[in-house]
Structures are given as C-alpha cells and as structure tokens.
Amino acid sequence: MTDTTGNPLLDAWSTPFGLPPFERIRPEHFRAAFEAAFAQHRAEIDAIANDPAEPTFANTIDALELSGETLSRVGGVFWNLAGSHTNPELQAIEREISPVAARHYSDIGMNPGLFRRIDTLFVKKDALGLNSEQARVLELTHRRFVRAGAKLGDADKERLGAIVQRLATLGTTFSQNVLADESSFELVLETAEDRAGLPDWLVAAAQRIGEERGKPGKAVITLARSVVEPFLTFSTNPGLREIAFNAWTRRGENGGETDNRAIVAETLQLRVERARLLGFKTFADYKLDPTMAKTPAAVNDLLGRVWPMARARALEERAELEEMARSEGDNAGIGAADWRYWSAKVRKARYDFDEAAIKPYLQLDNVIAASFNTATKLFGVTFTERPDLGLYHPDARAWEVNDAQGRHVALFIGDYFARPSKRSGAWMSSFRGQRKLGADVRPIVVNVLNFAKGAEGKPALLSFDDARTVFHEFGHGLHGMLSDVVYPSVAGTSVARDFVEFPSQVYEHWLMRPEVLKRFALHAETGEPLPDALLAKIQRARNFNQGFATVEYTSSAIVDMEFHALEDAEGIDPIAFEKNVLQRLGMPQGMVMRHRTPHFAHVFSGDGYSAGYYSYLWSEVLDADGFEAFRASGDVFDPELAKRLKEHVYAAGGRQDPAEAYRAFRGRDPDVEALLRGRGFLGETAEAGGEER
C-alpha cells in the first residue's frame, strides 16, 4: 500500500458543510487515495458477501448501500475536477483510474456470493415486510446486478469485465481528445474586417478571451458554444464563419492523436458484444430495457413522428433564408456555416427581433437570481451566497440552501465561465449525494457551464438560449438538492435516463414567464426592465427556426439509435455510417447534426446517453404536458401543483417507477401532442417546450 498519511482526501474533513478541502488537495494525492478507497470498498463487499448469517435486508442491502463511502468521496472530488478544472496530471490519472474503477464496479456486480444474497432476498421479497422504497431499492439492485453479468458463467464474466474496462479507457480518451481539439483552436480577429458585424458585447468577450490566452489586445474566438454560436450568427465575413464552423463540427476528426474515429468504431463493436453476452439482440435493446421507453420500437415511434414535421419545417425555413440572401445579392446558397447568420436576418425582418438588443437585459447574475427566486416561489427554498467557502477555482461560487423553516437543505456550487481546463457543454453533478440511511446527509450539488466573461468590470451577458441553459441545469440541480429519500442508490437524479431530463426541462418554462422576465431582465447599463414591446417580440418569435433546432437534435438522436441497433459493428466506418443514415433521412442541405459522431460526448464519452440521446425529446413530452397543468390552473406558481411536483418528482428520486411518479404529479399520463404544440408543429401555444442541452 502507498503511504496515505496526511492525505487530505482520506483525512476527516472539518470544513463547513463537509466540503472537500480543495486548497490542500493536489494531483499527487489521488492515486494513493483511490488505492486505499478501492481496497476498503473491496473489504466491505467481501464482508457482506461472506457473512455467515442468513441474508436480511439490513445485513445485505443496507450494508451494500452504505459501502464505498470513502471511494464515493474521493471519486466525487476527482471526477468533478476532471471535467471542470483539469490539467495534464489529472488527465494522466484519469486515463489510469477510469479502467480500474470500471473493473472494480464490474467485479462487484458479478460477485457470486453477493449476488446469491441479493437473489435470495429478491425471491422472497413479498414476505420481507418492506416499505415501498425498500421494495424499489431491492428491485433495482437485483436488476443492476443481473445487467452487470451476475448470472453469467465464469468465462463470460471475465470477458464482460474486460469489455467494461476497455470501454472506460475508450470513453476517457474520447473525452480528452475532444477537449484537446476545443482548447487548441483560436480564431484571432486581427482586423476591422475580421470583426465586421460583431456586436460590441461579443468583441469585448473575445478580447477578454485574448487576454486570458496571453494575447492582450487581440479578440479571440474559441469553440465555447457561447462564443462560437454568436460569432456564426453575427459575423458578416463568410470565410471566417466557415473556418469557425469547420473547427466546431470537426472536433475529434482532425487526424493525429486526437482523432476519435477509431475509438468510436471499437466502442460500437464492444457494445454489441456486451449486449450479446447479457442476452440482448442489440445494445439499444440492452440500454432501453430499464427505461420508460423500454424498447427501440417505442423510441423510433416518437422520433419517426417528430422527424417529418421537423424536416418539412426546416425546408420551409431554408427557402426563407435563401430568399433573404438573394434579396441582399448573395446567390451562393445557404451553407451549414451560414444558417445562423441568415436566420438572424430573417428573424429580424419578420419579428423585429434582434438578439443583440435582448442580450443586455440578460445579465448572468440576474438570471441566476431568477432561477433561485423561481425555486423559492415554487418550493420554499432560499439561497444565501457563501463567499467565505474555499472552492476549486476562483470563478466558482457557493450558496447555502435552506427550506422555509430555515433548515439546511443543500450546498449549491455554480461554475459558470468557460476556460481551457473545462470540457465544453453544461452539466450538473454532485460532490456528495443525499441519503438518510445511517445518517441524515445533505447534498453538495454543482452546476458547470461555459459562458464567456464580460469585459473587465462589465457583467456577463447571456443569449436567451444561454439563460435557458441556466434554468435547465438548475432544474437538474434542484433534483439533487431537494432529494428526500432514505437510500443513496435512488437519491436525486438516480432515475431512468429518459426521465432525468424532465425536472430540468420543465424548469425552463418559468424563464419565459412575464412574471420572471419583468423582474429580473434588467438592462445592464440603465437598470430598466425588459420593455413590454421587446417581451412581446420574444413571445412571437419563440418558435422561429424550430425546424432547424428540431432537425439538429432529432438527427443526432436517430443516428445514435441507428448505431446502437446494429447487430454487428465489425469493420464499421462511423463517418460513412453517419452520412448514410442522414442521406436516408433526407437531411436538409446546409444542416448538420447538433453533435457529430467524432465529438458526440453524450454517447461516446461513456455510455450515459448511448442509445439514449432521444431522452431529451422523450422528457419534453413530459415537460410540455406538465407545464400545461400550471398554465391551465391560471397560476404558474400554483402551490398545490408545486407541492405535487416537489413531492413526486424533485424530492422522490428513483424511489418509484417514473411513469407512476409522473401520474402522481399530473393525475394522468402525458399527452405527446403537447410536445408538438410546444415546438409549433400543431399550432401556437403560450410557451415553447424545453430544448436539448
């Protein structure tokens, strides 16, 4: 064993709220901490599996739920830093630890002695006198072990363990390659012509990036979505738009050490083999079995219903863009790098809607305050910033969360700005989850986003999509913070993949409400609230370009499903496969997938959303239908509806079947047409549905 004396990851933490002592933690501490934590967890598992006493819920399931606490604590710090503030040392450790951790958990899932005890309890579950949460935990635990290979023979167990280990290595490498391509790209805007068309706030943000990257006085465009998308929207230089767009869409496909094509091919082959070992026809069948959708056919039915409507709308939109371009003397056609630019012009002409005019009203701090205030009005929780707490980066901020009675609920950390050490995108995670088993443990939840900072001394300004992302991720955050269950395995966001987006996407709807915007959308210079006329323009333009947005997303979901419906992936060329699927769909000219295969991190940086990217659309059925209940009540903060939403969704975790949870909140099953209405495909409604993130 490596000497672990004085290792801050293994010491008792006396910090406020049990925060990790970030100021003391160094990369060199992690290997020893992981080694000790793995060993401790193995000993705990062996003690449960080899217990001579007859299996009981307490000595088997309770003990299993409480095992691995040290590993969870060490991993909570490491995996969060690996995503939000990494460095070469952490990346090297990540490449080393990922397969070890995968094999560790795989071995537990296939432990014969442990599974015998779980199976014994499962067989006689109806005679154990369990409450509903315990019964659910036992059901999910048994299913998790079966899906991990607990019923396989020794040879198949060994092969499955090797596959899981290799997939972890591939996923880590995929993610690091994407980050490398994102971090290395810089488009320096040297001249006035290079900056032509760009609003002042974007030039200021690009200059701030230039300063941070050692190019003072230079304006630099990176591949952070909050920078590159507005550049593609406003830049009047088609050559530079093409450069930025190509770099953005070719992440992971540039040859050399960071190319992900071979990684994708091997990943798909191993997933097929994994599914077959576990008795499933395809990896999609394997992944969907425990979800709300259950089968690929159900997913394809939803995608197949949405795709033709989205494609038809996108073709109409392209015709409008081409007409606008011709009216300005541009007959070159609408390329993929041009769509956002000409869309902005059409939207301005049709709705007098200008993103640059709205952005000064969406200050990041005010949008954060709006998300907090919405939670206060719905769920009674309050947020007090704690600048005294030591965090892992100067940009990160912390808030103490209390309930209406002043009792501690959670600690919330917000990490909002892009930097080279952070992977792209937006996500919610936890440094510590909630539980009541053994002790009343409250969660430490983090939202990580990638916005551009404002100019020195100026607030960060958001697009409307950026503001919606704040609400989206905070909805995930509330799912973790409001969790109120006994067992950690069903706490917070530990729910079916196609249900986990419901709490985040339904929360987005409150951003669009006049009650919220009129109070928190205040002009950065004058402090004036968003004018009624501008609010009306936002409402009128809410479904503009929905064909484009839906095609972008749905094509990605369909390609994901097609990849994982393969019964044989031997020799696959992922790029050719992607191209063939899109051709078969009739992908509109000048459009690309929202996430092309070589940087499709949802699907290939691990298997979280593999055969599951459809989940955002599936959850949008729920969120569109769910928010209609609030609108129909006449009070979007209706206390009775909010109480049911909190009790059966945000606080409930995975302690009940998600379909039952939705019915308990809504009183009925969801109506799929609410999604189509929300996206404007079946006529107009007062709110747009949640969007994929």
Return the active site residues.
473
Strands 444-451 and 408-417: what pairing? parallel
What is the rounded distance in angstroms from the CA atom of residue 322 to the CA atom of residue 332?
A: 9
Q: Tokens 């943000």: give the residue.
A: 205
Buried (b) or exposed (e) across 92-128, using 16+ Cβ within 10 A? ebbeebbbebbbbebbbbbbeebbebbeebbeeeeee
CA gap 253, 232 in Å, rounded: 21
Q: How many CB atoms lie within 10 A of CB 563?
A: 28
Q: 688: which DSSP letter?
A: P
H or E element in which residue 466 lies: helix 464-481
For the residues of 167-195, what is the DSSP string, one character each?
HHHHHHHHHHHHHHHHHH--EEE-STTTT
- Judge whether 194 and 237 are in contact, CB under 8 Å: yes
Q: Taking the chain, what is the end-to-end CA distance rounded to the nearest angstrom?
A: 43
d(CA 388, CA 620): 39
Determine which helix (DSSP H) or strand (DSSP E) holds 411, and give its type and residue range: strand 408-417
What is d(CA 339, CA 335) in angstroms, rounded to the nearest whole number? 7
Q: What is the SS3 assignment for 681?
A: strand
Burial class (CB in 10 A: 0-12, 13-18, 19+), 297: exposed
DSSP state of 650: I
- Tokens found for residue 692: 């994929």
Query: DSSP labels for 332-356?
Result: S---TTTHHHHHHHHHHHHH---HH
CA distance 15 to 139: 37
**How many beta carbons lie within 10 A of that of residue 471, not counting itself?**
24
- φ and ψ at residue 43, rounded to 5 degrees: -65, -40
